[in-house]
Amino acid sequence: MLRLSLKTRRTLLPYLFLGPGLLWLIVFYLVPLINQGGVSLMTGNPEDGYTLTWHFATYTNAISDYSTQFGRSVLFSGIATIACLVIGFPLAYFIAYKAGKYKNFMLLLTVLPFFTSYVLRTVSWQLILNDNGWVVHRFQDVGLLGSNGHLLATNLAVIAGITYNFLPFMVLPLYVTLERLDRRFIEAATDLYASRATAFRKVTVPLALPGIFAGSLLTFIPACGDFINAALLGTPKQYMIGNVIQAKFLNILDYPTAAALSFILMTAILVGILIYARLLGTKSLTEAAA
């Protein structure tokens, strides 16, 4: 065995530890993304193949052709993120401070969705919301839906599905942040005669901001790329950019457009993260999630 000085070994060791994993990520994450950039600038057709022609117009065409789906992705994900926050914050707050001996059980129920298949849970929403289902009939009974009204295949169904699937990712970071929050700040506020509502508004919420941001990112980013909810709970009228990318890539075999679309999506999200990192610092980004 090679005898190296302790110092040399200590400088080499981290690279040895990192090497294999980094190599995997470079070859199967970074290189594909760069390759994707190349593919997006190709022209051709599925029969004769594609060649690199530096055809930048694919990008402008992709944006003008699919601005509706891009807009819908941002809109649906944005609404779902806000809905997750509205539903999730009180839940996280209750689990962290009020649940007492039921804390364990409530946390388990929050993580339970992770133990059944994502696709199957979404199929389950199809059963719940379908036109002959109990829910639609009850909605019709109380007049919330007309006799020919639908819940399935509407914007509402898709947004509700996204909200459902990503709610735990909002609740968990919020819970973690609230749980680790130094409650003496809240006590101090109430000692200084702040009402509970004021203490909540001026102390708890600002201190929970990292959790709110982390939860929002963890909800918004995957929701933007999601196409399972739109495919199973919606119709082509609800399709998001993920549906377009998948269809272009796997059915229509229009690789350049698919590559351009996913590049645009990726860039938009990275810019969003960079703005976020600027506002709160990169460290808080990775730590807020922890």
Partner 1 sequence: MLSSRDKVRDWLLGIWSALALLYLFIPIFIVVLYSFNDNKGRFNFTWQGFTLKHWAHPFSNSDLTTALQHSLIVAAFTVVIATALGTFMALALVRYGFRGKATTELFVFLPLATPEVVLGAALLGLFLTLHVGTGMVTIIIAHVMFTVSYVVVTVRARLEGMDRHIEEAAMDLGATEWTTFRKVTLPMIAPGVAAAALLAAAISIDDYVVTSFNAGQTQTFPLFIFGATRQGVPAEVNVLATILLLAVLVLMGLNVLVQKARARDEGGGPEAGREQVEELAFDLAEAGARG
**Total H helices, total E strands in the chain:** 14, 2
Smallest gap from Cβ 123 to partner 1, in A, equals 6
Tokens of residue 248, six digits? 């272009």
Smallest gap from Cβ 64 to partner 1, in A, equals 21
Q: Rule CB under 8 A: say whether 269 interacts with partner 1.
A: yes
Give the residue, chosen from 54, 115, 143, 192, that forms a contact with partner 1 under the rule CB under 8 A.
Answer: 115
Please report, as residue ranges, which positions from 197 to 226 form the binding site for partner 1 (by CB under 8 A): 217-219, 221-222, 224-226
Tokens of residue 122, six digits? 């979404």
# of chain residues touching partner 1 (CB under 8 A) = 103
Q: Rule CB under 8 A: say whether 284 interacts with partner 1.
A: no
**Using an 8 Å Cβ cutoff, are 210 and 39 in contact?**
no
Only one of the segments 60-68, 181-189, 202-210, 259-267 lies at the binding site for partner 1 (rule: CB under 8 A); that segment is 259-267
Please report, as residue ranges, which positions from 151 to 190 form the binding site for partner 1 (by CB under 8 A): 164-169, 171-173, 175-176
Smallest gap from Cβ 101 to partner 1, in A, equals 9
b/e per residue, 48-67, with b = 16+ CB within 10 A? eebeeeebeebbeebeeebe
Query: How far, in Å, CA of 208 to CA of 189, rounded?
Result: 15
Q: Rule CB under 8 A: say whether 232 interacts with partner 1.
A: yes
Only one of the segments 61-69, 139-147, 150-158, 262-270 lies at the binding site for partner 1 (rule: CB under 8 A); that segment is 262-270
**Using an 8 Å Cβ cutoff, are 71 and 268 in contact?**
no
Query: How far, in Å, CA of 33 to CA of 25, rounded?
Result: 11
Q: Rule CB under 8 A: say whether 82 interacts with partner 1.
A: no
Q: Rule CB under 8 A: say whether 123 interacts with partner 1.
A: yes
**Using an 8 Å Cβ cutoff, are 166 and 223 in contact?**
yes
